[in-house]
Amino acid sequence: MYTEREVEDLFRLSSLYDALCTSATAPVVVPSLFYQERITPISHIFYDCADDENDAKKIMSHRISIPPLKECIRGHLTIHNQIEIQFSTLDEALNTNNKNTFNHALNSICQHVTAYGVVVGALSRIAREDSFLFYPTSISGNYFTLDRYIRQKQWNPHQSLQGCFNELAHIEKMRNKFANTKLEGIELYERNPEEPSLTGTTLASKLALTIELLKRAGFPEEELETFQ
């Protein structure tokens, strides 16, 4: 049985993971016919599924041919890749009651999410209306469940830098929270032995899909080898 505080903290971590799974594919999505300035389940679509394929290809060509934009994509991949590694470590630490490992992974995740906010802001200033990265946010429709606890995931609903900082403030308070508790069987995200895959739901799979779509769009393969 978990305490109310433990459930709330696990909910926040799971919501952050969900938000990062959404932001991971940002470099390869384009505005859909139902575009909104804020990310929604139908506001953006993978460029290879766009209604206007030629226009989508032009957008991708622009992103990967302009050095500052291309560098933002590399920064995006670097940060998400590191976060994926730390979330895997965090998940294991929760199940083995390894307080030091948990705290180290938690600190690293918070630092990398903060760094990603800097990348998003920098791209927004450089690309203006052509900016394609966004502050991590959870999309409606995904739920966190634990025993009888069911709640729709929520992280940075206003999709702002300040919203990220506010959410991270809660996450950072989790240091040492699980020092005396071994949370066996906890899964912050659904696992599949076949992942990462291009159709998977984990952060590793979302990154694999993003890298594959970048290759198909013409991003130099040798520059993506670091992230594979």
Per-residue pLDDT of the chain (228 residues; tens, 9 = 90+): 677 888 888 899 999 999 999 999 999 999 888 877 777 777 889 999 998 989 999 999 999 999 999 999 999 999 999 999 999 998 888 878 788 898 999 999 999 999 999 999 999 999 988 899 999 999 888 888 887 888 999 999 999 999 999 999 999 888 766 655 556 656 676 666 666 788 888 999 999 999 999 999 999 999 898 876
DSSP codes joined into one string, 72-141: HHHHHHHHHHHHHHHHHHHHHHHHHT-HHHHHHHHHHHHHHHHHHHHHHHHHHHHHGGG-------PPTT
d(CA 151, CA 172): 21
Whether the predicted model's global pTM rises above the 0.85 cut: yes
The residue type of 192 is N
